[in-house]
Amino acid sequence: MMLKQDYLAIWQERLADQLRRGSILQVRTEERDGLHHVVGAYQNSEGSEVWDSYAYFSKQELAEEAVKVVRRLAAFENN
């Protein structure tokens, strides 16, 4: 069974990799199974758009704040 910090580490690793490559195209929230997911579209090595879930929260407000952070990081990495 994965612990909460394990999920956070995986999320950070995937997000950091996509930020380094400058491949994040969009970020938004989606509600699934009563949780608010932070999802992002990125461009893979073949040039296709792929959606990935970065994190999930029990509260919509937390997911929206996470989206803002990801957008700021993506803008910083692209400059």
pLDDT at 8: 62
- How confident is the model at residue 5, as a pLDDT? 59
Q: Supply the range of the domain harboring residue 11.
A: 4-78
Q: What is the pLDDT of residue 69?
A: 84
Other C-beta atoms lying within 10 Å of the C-beta of residue 12: 12
Distance CA 35, CA 42 (A): 22
Match 């029990």 to its residue by tokens: 58
In three-state form (DSSP H/G/I as H, E/B as E, the rest C), the secondary structure along the chain is CCCHHHHHHHHHHHHHHHHHHCCEEEEEEEEECCEEEEEEEEECCCCCEEEEEEEEECCHHHHHHHHHHHHHHHHHHHC
Q: What is the chain's pLDDT, residue by residue, as a tens digit (79 residues)?
A: 445 556 566 677 777 777 777 778 889 999 999 999 989 888 888 888 989 888 888 889 988 988 888 888 777 766 6
pTM score of the predicted model: 0.71
The count of structural domains within the chain is 1
pLDDT at 34: 92
